[in-house]
Structure 1
Amino acid sequence: MEKLQAALDKARKTRTGEGSVPVRRQLQTRPQAIAPEVDALWQDLASFEVDPRLLVDHLVVTREAGEAATPFDILRTKTLLQMRQNGWKRLAITSPMPGAGKTTVACNLALGMGRQRDLRSMLFDLDLRDPSAHHFFETAPPYPIGDVLTGKVPFAAQGMRYGDNVAISTGHHPVADPTRLLLAEETAEVLDAIEAAYKPDLMIFDLPSVLVNDDTRAFLKNVDCALIVIRAEETRFGQFDTCEREVAEHTNVLGVVLNAYRYGENTAHKSWKGEKA
């Protein structure tokens, strides 16, 4: 574990001189007043509830404040502050290889943001070959997310609302050719339209692992920054290093989440830039 930590620090230092990837566009850094018609759009989304015990079973622990939620809350706050400072709204979450816990992090971030009553967040499950976010919430939309990305179905008919201020768009069946969708300009236009209409403070995209296919590379042009999730004692440094280089070619690397790092009798679910949460 110490070797991985040292390698993370070394990799970060070697990239200090590299410039940031240009963002999609410059955004306002402060939340703007929301018009009544935007409130109506959010309220019109189909709402759903899920048994809190089922969320905990899936390690989604940020529905309420507490000891279990604290590491994710720290990540939420650091993420939000840094994104606001840079005028960013779109966050990708990925990993070098499957099994690191990226979807768990994405779901916890979304619900953690939901506890901030003045913020609206959206979570899109774009791991189209193996969608899983619907399992975490024990619910599925009436249409596949691919129908939204192609413009076949409006977001209003597919997106679902948890509470008053978290919108979730998930898939429930694998997509045969996801790279075609993720690379398409039509997808970029659809997301721009959703952002313009619903005016979310944060859009979170749960993307596939970088080293298993080219789906994430195809989509990163649509986000402002990315978090890379690695798993203690499983992710190899070479995998992380390659993943970070790939992501940094297409967007800004916001930070690194070290998942399942055990110290004492507790588990730190995440870290920031290689530091313990």
Structure 2
Amino acid sequence: MVDYILRRNRRDRLEKDERSRLLERVARHAAEAEAQEKAVRAALRGEAAPQQADLWSKLRDIPVNESLMDENLIITATRHDPAHATFDVLRTRLVQTLSDKGWRRVGITSPTRDCGKTFVSVNLAIALSRYENCRTVLMDMDMRNPSVAGVLGLNDVGSMGAFLRGDRRIEDTFCRFAENKLKIGRQLALGLNDKIEPYAAELLQKPETTARIKEVEEKLDANIVLYDLPPALAQDDVIAFSRMYDGVFIVAGGGTTTAHEVREVMRRLGDDVPLLGVILNRAEGQMTEEYGY
């Protein structure tokens, strides 16, 4: 974690008291994650491992680039950074909440750009992939500024807009990580995008979009679907798509996001969209959660 924080802050070293506080926080998160993980696994222990739909075998494999993931702060992949324990806690709490509520669709947004929503989306998706009995789908729905493929170092991944309009098949749009030494699970499907859609809100409101999303859920037999959404205050895309997710995380950038901006996002989404939590992606490289189910 110390290296991670220094890289984010471009600092040469941390003071002794800073280092001690950070290590204590990591230890606390790790203990909490382990306890909650045991509870979730106990609940799942009686279930037989689900049979993956045949369509999963048709999804193309993408390589796992360990050094690139480290560089792009995908800390749940390599687990070199103890801060990954925070995502383990987030993963376990999310699975428990979705199970209790009977939900599966989760939007991840932020008030403005550069708050770290894609950082949270990808790290959470990879953490979820390690649950063998849970099929997770992550879709890049920020169609004005798609970024998931770039974080993973992938090019020419195709158009999510074309898929939503019915011009591409699921197996041509979605992919999963190849077998790898990092134990990133094969039950994570990624819907990537590298084509900008200038009329994204209009596309997201179309009945065809609803039908394609439901097709993904059914044919991939998804337990959890994560949507990496655009910043909520930039355009009306998040509102246009709100009927398609059961709850939302708001990622706030430490030192940049104001309380007023978070409240404005909640006001625009309205009472019909449950707030799963506000995740503070702190400038010094820590991540904390405030839950509000």
Q: Give the TM-score normalised by the residue count of structure 1.
A: 0.81
Of Structure 1 and Structure 2, the greater helix share is in 2
Distance in 1 separating the partners of 2:101 and 2:157 = 36
Which of 159, 176, 186 matches 2:198? 176
Cα deviations by residue, 1:164-199 (Å, 9 ceiling, x for unpaired): 111111111211211111111110111111111111
Task: Give the structure 2 partner of residue 243 of structure 1.
Answer: 265
Larger RCO: 1 or 2 (CA < 8 Å, sep 6+):
1
Secondary structure of residue in 2 paired with 1:130? coil
SS in 2 for 1:123: strand
CA distance in 1, matches of 2:169, 2:282: 38
Secondary structure at 2:77 match in 1: coil
Partner of 2:9: none
> Which one-letter code corresponds to 1:247 in the other structure?
L
Aligned match of 1:106 in 102, 113, 121?
121
Task: Give the structure 2 partner of residue 81 of structure 1.
Answer: 96
State the match for 2:169 in structure 1. Answer: 154
CA displacement, residues 121-172 of structure 1 (integer Å, 9 cap, x when unaligned)? 1110010001111111111454311111111111111111124111111111
The TM-score with structure 2 as length reference comes to: 0.77
Superposition pairs for residues 1-277 of structure 1, below 5 Å? 34-35=50-51, 38=53, 40-65=54-79, 67-140=82-155, 142-163=157-178, 164-260=186-282, 262=284, 267-273=285-291
Given that residues 226 and 247 in structure 1 are in contact (C-alpha distance below 8 angstroms), is that contact kept between their aligned partners in structure 2? Answer: no
Alpha-carbon distance in 2 for matches of 1:213, 1:51: 33
Question: Structure 1, residues 235-274: CA drift from partner, whole Å, max 9, x if none?
Answer: 0111111112222344111111011154xxxx42232328
* Distance (Å, rounded) in 2 between the aligned partners of 1:50 and 1:261: 27
Take 2:104 and 2:162, find their aligned partners in 1: how far apart are those partners? 23
- Over 3 Å counting, the alpha-carbon distance change for 1:32 and 1:145 in structure 2 is farther
Unaligned runs of 5+ in 2: 1-42, 179-185
Give, in angstroms, the shift of residue 73 of structure 1: 1.2
Residue identity in the other structure for 1:103: T
Structure 1 spans left out of the alignment, 5+ residues: 1-28
The 4+ residue runs of structure 1 with deviation greater than 3 A are 29-36
Counterparts of 1:239 and 1:55, CA distance in 2: 30
Identity %: 27
